[in-house]
Homo-oligomer: A and B are copies of this chain.
Amino acid sequence: MIPTHVNRRTRHSPVLATAVLLALMPRAFAQTDPLPSWNETPVKQAIVDFVREATTEGQPGFVPTDERVAVFDMDGTLVPERPVPLALVPVLDDIQQAVEAKPMLRDRPAVAALLKGDVATLHAAGEQGIVDLVAVTTDGRTTEEIVQNVRPLIEGKTAERFGVPYSQAVYQPMREVLALLEANGFTNWICSGSPLLITREVSQGMFGIPPERVMGSHVGTRLDERDGRTVLLFDGTIGRLNDGEFKPVTISLAMPTRPVFVAGNEGGRGDIAMMRWSKDRDGASFQLLVNHDDAAREFEYAEPDEYSLNAAQRYGFHVASIKHDWKTVVGTVEGEQK
């Protein structure tokens, strides 16, 4: 790995040579393995190689600093999306409380389906179902009132599968990818199908991503006044369902360039469009698709037609198998296996 001429120089001036070496090596590679929770597989090597190339001027894969943008899906990519997506954790509480207060809310099909965990009926309820659920959840509260309990609810509830609060149920290997990219000048963003207002409440604490760099779904709101003070209230419309082909649209409104690095997951068909949007940029790029193939340590599921896995093959995306590529799934900061 170390070029011969540098080895020769070490004989004469080891201190200088070490300094030169350290200066030449990207920071995150200088001393320790940047991805300790990954097994030594080709995917891990590909990530490390990509970042090294992206940060080495003169390499074909070099990416100028101001283009180093990485976009991550959240549910199923950074955190488990089973049994429920992260953003539903606080919402379920709201809905249960609302239904206790007003039992007639059970008559709305989407509400009843959600409380029963009847996913098929929930999907069949479509946009009207979402509007009903949002109406029940918000229950006349302002946007600011709605979000104020999100963080304590996610911190306070245990993700049973992993025995830690939802706020700590983050994929350790993906945490390391986030950190590796950030250490090498990348700006990390989230582009999630989950509600923007809920997701950005936990993005800094869980992923080190500031709220301004979160893209997500949202409902329509309108300006109103309460006691002479301006507030925002749900207006009964869907603003944007940020999934599939809408994700590149959302990304294009948030930033002027196509992202260089995009991570998504098999399971909901939702991330292929934004991965293609990245792949089709001018210059180097990297797409990572997380595959949920580990029933023993996480969950095992896929789209019936394996649409996303097939797309990864067709377009040359990298697939991270939870079973084979990840040493740890949900870990502590020390990387303890769960």
Contact = CB atoms under 8 A, between A and B. Distances in A.
Given A212-B255, A221-B252, A232-B252, 9 more contacts: A143-B252, A200-B256, A201-B256, A211-B255, A212-B212, A218-B253, A223-B245, A223-B277, A230-B276
A40 interface: no
A324 to B, nearest CB: 30
Interface string A240-258: 0000010011001111100
A248 B232 contact: yes
> Among A200, A239, A252, A276, which residue has the most Cβ atoms of chain B within 10 A?
A252
A280 interface: yes
Majority-rule SS of A interface residues: helix
Copy tally for this chain in the complex stands at 2
Interface residues of A, number: 29
A113 interface: no
Interface string A206-241: 000001110000100111000001101000000100
Interface in A174-229: 196-197, 200-201, 211-213, 218, 221-223, 229
19 contacts: A143-B252, A200-B256, A201-B256, A211-B255, A212-B212, A212-B213, A212-B254, A218-B253, A221-B249, A221-B252, A222-B249, A223-B245, A223-B273, A230-B277, A230-B280, A232-B248, A232-B249, A232-B252, A239-B253
